[in-house]
Each structure stands twice: as C-alpha cells, then as structure tokens.
Chain A
Amino acid sequence: MAEPLKILVADDNETDRMILRAIVQQEGHRVIEAANGREAVERFLADSPDIILMDALMPVMDGLQASREIKERAGGDLVPIIFLTSLQDAQSLAECLDSGGDDFMSKPYNRVILKAKIKAFSRMRLMHAQLQEHNRQMLLEQQVAKTVFDNVAHSGCLNLDNIRHSLSPLAVFNGDTVLAERKPDGGMLLFLGDFTGHGLPAAIGAMPLAEIFYGMTSKGFSMEEVLREINSRLRKILPVGVFCCGAMVELNFYDKTARIWVGGVPDVYLVRHRTGDLVKIPSTSLPLGVLDPHEFDPTASDHNMDVGDRVFLWSDGIIESHNPMGEMFGEARLEQLFEETDNPDDLFDDILSAVDAFIGKGNRDDDITLCTAKMVHIDDIGMPTFDTSKGTVGGPMDWEMSLELRDQSLKAFNPLPLVLNILMEVEGLRGLSGQLYTLLAELFNNALDHGILRLDSQLKTNAQGFAAYYLERERRLNDLDDGRISLHIRHRPVGKGGELSLRISDSGPGFDHQRMVSGIDENGESYSGRGITLVHQLCDRFEYRDRGNTVEATVCWPKQN
C-alpha cells in the first residue's frame, strides 16, 4: 500500500462524512473531519492535510469560499481539493474548479472512482513535492557554484577608481563576466565576456576563463597570450555551440596606449575626453572557444589614449534590451548618448539610466553588462601589489640560471612571465615584482628591438610613428633567421638579504644602451622618463659592456629607504 495520507473530509451531512470516512480509511488513510467551510479552513491550518474532499454546499461558509481561502494560504504547496457535489449543471461544476478545486465527484459516491482519484492526486502531490525539491536543490547548487565562482573570479582590480562596471550579482548564470587585473609592469587587462546560453552551462566556462585570466595577467603574459590560452582551453572543455563572445583591452599607463581585441560582442567605443570624438572598434575575431588553437589569431588594434580618454565594453544586452512595445534599444540610441553628452564622466550612468528608462515596465531579457575604463597617469594608479602566498620562508636564495633564445624562439616565446615566476620564488623579491618585471621587460625588449631587430626608437615619438614602429617590428621579427638573446640570472644570499644579478646579451652588433635606458635621444630630448628613474631606484649597479650588446644589472635587497 502506498504511503498513508491525511485526508480532510468537509461535509455538513453526517451520513456523508461517515460513508466517506469508511471509504478513505479502508484505503489505509487517516481522516480529519469538518462540518462546514469555516471548520475546513481551520482544520487545514491546524493539521495540514494532504488531500481535501470538500462538499460544495455547506452552511456557515460554503466549499467554494473555503477552497479559495485554503489555496491562498497553501502558497506554493500543492493541496488537491476534490469537490463533492450533487450539482449537475456545467456552470456549478465550473465554479468549483474556478474557486481552486482540482477535480469534482458527483454524489452518490462511487467508491472505485473516489479511490482512483485519491491515488491519482497522491501521485501528483509526490511529483509536485519532487519538483519543488529539485528547484530548492537547484537554487542551493547555484549559490554554491556562485560562491566558488566568486572565489575564482574575485573582483580583481575592478574596484580601481578608473574602472566602472555594471553586472548583476547572478550574471554568471546569464553567462556574463567582467574581469580586470593589473600586470606586473603596471599595465592592466580588462575583459568582458558573454557566454552563449544561460544557467549552469553558461556559467561553467567562466571559471577556467577567470582562472587563466588572473593567473596569466598577474604573471605578465601579453593580451594575445592570455587570449590564446583562454581560446584553447574553452575550445577543449566546452561542447560545440557553447562559446564566449568577448572584448579585451590592455591599458598601458606609461605609454598611454590601449590594445583592443573584440570577438563577437558589439563595437568597443573609445571616447576622446577632450574632443568628445568617438572611435568604434568593431569585432574582428570569432568568439573564444570556436576555433582550434592553431587557427585562432587574436588580431588586436593599437590606440593612443590621452589621460581621461575612455573605453566602453558591453555585451549585446544593452543594444538588445526591449521596451514594452517590443522595440530594441539599438545602437543608434546608444550612439546618441555619446553625441549628446556634456560630460563624458557621466556617460556610464547616462547609459544605465537611459536603458532603464527605455525598458520601463518591460521584461529584462538579458543582463545589462557594461564596463568602462579611463586612461590615467601611472602615478595616480600606482604599481600593483600581488598577493603571493606560495613558497617557503626565504625561498631559493643561492642559484643561477641561463636561458638562451634563438631566432625561432624569439618569434614564438615571451620568456618574461617565466623568469618573473622564478624570481618570485625568492620571498625577498616579491615586494619588487612590478619593478623587476619592468626592468626585465625594458632590458629584454631593448635587446630584441634594438640589438637584434635594429629598430630605431626615434620612430616612436608620435602616434603614427608608434603604429609604424610596431608594424616594422612585426615584419622584421617575422623575417628573422639569425639571432639570439641570452639571459643569465644569479641570486645569492648577502647578509640578511640577497643580491640579484642580471646579464642580458644579444647577438647583434651593439647599440647605445645608455641612450635607450636614460631615455635621451640624439637631440638631448627625453622620450621616456621611466627607464632611467627605475634603474636608479632599483639597481645598485648598472652597466653595458662589450660592443654594447650586453647589459648587466645588480639589485640588492632589502632596499634601504
């Protein structure tokens, strides 16, 4: 026999109640009785019966009214009500169902049918309870998943003053992600992603994405490298048809430049603070996770940015939001906001309130995910501090290593993240990570650009030249068939601290390191002040040797301040 149920019999006629009680008890169920509608509601509240057999016509309160009150108080729980009635006309029977009844039975009672109905509603109750349990379970699981995701995706550096973003708290289950992290050289990577689909399938890709993004960015990998890794990982783990549209921006606060990659999301906007001019950067790549690693080529565009210039990234949620009439917000309305603004600082809020006003009482089809970042002076934003918890006290103190990259490797591999990673094993150097990375990058890039590729830094003095410089660099790197750069790094303990020595040599004919590092060109004009400042701040010894193709730097720690 199935699980015994608690069944409420509400009938003003005692003989009816006796007969019904006998039928129900014979099936092994428990009976609670009520003699009118008021009593039925009271018994329902006191005993929470599983099924109710309700006479339609009763004194004090009739069955219809009792049914309405019970259904209202039952809330999400399913409490089947079967009306017992000798009424025959269709109108009366319909009223029974309208008042919240689930079924009706005509008097005199047919025992077989009544038993079958109780069984059927008992099954329905079980299914309903199961459904509710699954729903509770799903919400619980989403909460857990969200907590794990928040730990992985944390907020990075999204709380910096030059970034603003809008993302609903459960956006991860709508497939939307916004990530930002500083690079060891002081730069910043910003990513906005929009996975296809909704719910857990959309959320699941966001975790490895965030993990790769934060891990690689803080180790100094370039935007292209981060994108390649994300693409190849998503390609591997996501089923066909699930992928991530996105846009990534790398901000360099020294050079005041932005590298922008757009893959499948609406145009990224770059707004000039002074002129209000709008540059639209359209999508040039397929989304992440679509192409095989060897087919994926993240082509980014480079842009100069003055202090105050802003980039805007968004998912299609804004453009595709609907008003109650079913119209889309559209790109034209968005562009109009940019044209009409008096103060670009207000644009972020203007967009959100315009979209909000547009949607009105309409349905929110998608999350409004929006992110903007402003170019600032490096001094205003400071160097990043990374929280590294790995390593033992002190770490490796006495070691040296050599790494030589030949032409093929120079094209294919950026050794800086790897080298920085090893340096960060030395606990005493961790506080200097940003500066060490910048020093390494400066010396290595000088060796590559000027030593091997023999590029003239004069080119970089203006915006057009900047672009030309990088085009030429890429061309020469591609054509490179001879050349090597070797890095020799040694660390040894000294007193309470240590001493780090770097030697970087290239196979080129030599160049004027002094000029590169001091940032003084032939005309005695400074093009970049940071190299020389950094060298003085950080290095205890610094010299170039041989024919100008070897540079040596020594950094001692702890630093005396």
Chain B
Amino acid sequence: MSEQNPEPSDHLDEATLNELEALLEDDFVDLVETFLKDAQVRYDELAQTVKSTVAEDIRRAAHSFKGSSLNVGATRLAALCRELEDHAREGRIVYAKELLENIHHEMTVVDTLFRQRYL
C-alpha cells in the first residue's frame, strides 16, 4: 500500500538527481526507466535469496541493489538494502524477511515518485 503523499526529500537525493539530469539530458528519462525495470529484477533476485536463507547470497544481492539505488539518488532504498547487507554479513537472517518487506514498500514509493516527476 503506497502512502498517499510521500515527501520526496525523505526518499530521494535531489542534488544527485539534478546532477544526473544535467549530465544525461535527454537520456535521463531512459535512465529512470532502466532503473525502475532493473529494480524489479533485483528485487525478485533478492526475494529469492531471502527465501533460500543463504546469508552470503542475501548479502551479495542486497549489496548490488544498494549500488544501483545509490546511483539514481534513491537514498532511503539504498539505506534499507545496506541494513540488510550488514545483517547478512554478520550471518543474521532473522530480520531478512521484515527488511525485504520494507524494501518492497520503499520501491513502490520510489516508483510512484519517479513516475510522477519524470515519466
């Protein structure tokens, strides 16, 4: 369930996005679309690893999702991925499911915000 009125600054880093928009110009829309498509794939992979409960696999998938989120300034999504990555590195998978749900929720927020603003 998405929030009715998410506050963009809680979820996105404006400075990064402005910089990317300036850098990529017309291709910026492509970047956003690519990210959203890619995020869905990465989320599915992550969900798969959480189901398998192999800590190392969870860590790797979370690490990679974190990287691509950071790229597009999705800072809160990146922070959640990082939390999961840190737990997995310590071998703690008890919070994995809960964090995965949070990540899914944050994804829908980011998806909404991006679509509203750029697409």
Contacts and interface: CB of A to CB of B under 8 A. Distances in A.
Contacts of B20: 19
Given A26-B23, A108-B70, A108-B71, A15 B63 contact: no
- Give the one of B19, B23, B64, B67 with max A CB within 10 A: B67
A107 B71 contact: yes
Contacts of B64: 12-13, 57
A111 interface: yes
B23 A19 contact: yes
A18 B26 CA distance: 12
24 contacts: A12-B64, A13-B38, A13-B67, A13-B71, A14-B38, A15-B72, A16-B67, A16-B71, A18-B31, A19-B24, A19-B31, A19-B71, A22-B24, A23-B23, A26-B23, A57-B60, A57-B63, A57-B64, A86-B63, A86-B66, A107-B67, A108-B70, A109-B71, A111-B19
- Give the one of A12, A16, A19, A57 with max B CB within 10 A: A19
Interface in A93-130: 107-109, 111
Contact of B16 (A12, A22, A108): A108
Contacts of B38: 13-15
A85 to B, nearest CB: 9
Nearest to B42: A13
Contacts of B16: 108
Interface string A10-52: 0011111011001100100000000000000000000000000
Contacts of B66: 86
B43 interface: no
A146 to B, nearest CB: 56
Contacts of A12: 64
B66 to A, nearest CB: 7
Contacts, number: 49
Interface residues of A, number: 16
Interface of B is mostly: helix
Interface of A: 12-16, 18-19, 22-23, 26, 57, 86, 107-109, 111
Nearest to B41: A14
Given A57-B63, A108-B16, A15 B23 contact: no
A109 B68 CA distance: 11
Nearest to A12: B64
Given A19-B20, A19-B71, A109-B71, 6 more contacts: A14-B38, A15-B34, A15-B38, A15-B72, A19-B31, A57-B60
Contacts of A57: 60, 63-64
A109 B70 CA distance: 10
B27 A22 contact: yes
Interface in B15-32: 16, 19-20, 23-24, 27, 30-31
B35 interface: yes
Contacts of B24: 18-19, 22
A18 B67 contact: no
Contact of A86 (B34, B35, B70, B72): B70
A13 B19 CA distance: 19
Interface in B59-106: 60, 63-64, 66-68, 70-72
Contacts of B30: 18
Nearest to B31: A18
A439 to B, nearest CB: 96
Contacts of B72: 15
A12 B60 CA distance: 14
A13 B71 CA distance: 10
A18 B70 contact: no
- Give the one of A13, A26, A57 with max B CB within 10 A: A13
A19 B69 CA distance: 13
A109 to B, nearest CB: 8
B39 to A, nearest CB: 9
Nearest to B70: A108
Contacts of B23: 19, 22-23, 26, 111
